[in-house]
Amino acid sequence: METSTGQSKVKENPSLMSDLNNIQDKNSKEYRDKVRELETALGVKEVNIFGTANRSIFEENLDAMNEMQMQALARRLYIDQSGSKPMLKKRLMKQFDTQNIQSRGYFSPQPKQKELFSDEQKIAMNKILNG
């Protein structure tokens, strides 16, 4: 009988984390594959009803499902399971976004920060504020 040491399997494979950090395109298939590998090592499928914490991976999983599988997931999430497959997918994605809003971070690509003011506006504001 094996006993758990409480140590994460990720520590056994530090290259997985460095590989993930070195991938520039967070929307690439390579990145999603590494995230899947990391989530498998962490046991995310067992603790997350969606099977992943990454929106892109969840969307891929939905694309691979038939309508009955999507309805079964909707039933487990206590959301409306009626309608067409595209409507069901939209509801499931919305539920994913709602439930994962606070747990997003490392596994989900982050939106690019948009500058509030252009460079010209910043210069003009500095002139006004500094005289």
124 occurs within a structural domain: no
20 occurs within a structural domain: yes
58 occurs within a structural domain: yes
Residue 6, pLDDT score: 47
64 occurs within a structural domain: yes
pLDDT (tens digit, 9 = 90+) per residue, 66-80?
A: 999 999 999 999 999
Q: Mean pLDDT: which of 8-12, 106-110, 115-119 is highest?
A: 115-119
3 occurs within a structural domain: no
Domain that holds residue 47: 10-108
The pair of three-digit structure tokens given for residue 130, joined into one six-digit string: 């500094």
56 occurs within a structural domain: yes
- Average pLDDT of the chain, as a whole number: 79
131 occurs within a structural domain: no
pLDDT (tens digit, 9 = 90+) per residue, 84-105?
A: 999 999 999 999 988 876 555 5
Of 23-32, 39-48, 87-96, 97-106, the least confident = 97-106
pLDDT exceeds 70 at position 106: no
Total number of domains in the chain: 1
85 occurs within a structural domain: yes
Instruction: Report residue 64's pLDDT band, with 50, 70 and 90 as the boundaries.
Output: very high
Residue 79, pLDDT score: 92
Residue 102, pLDDT score: 56
Tell me which of 1 and 111 has the higher pLDDT: 111
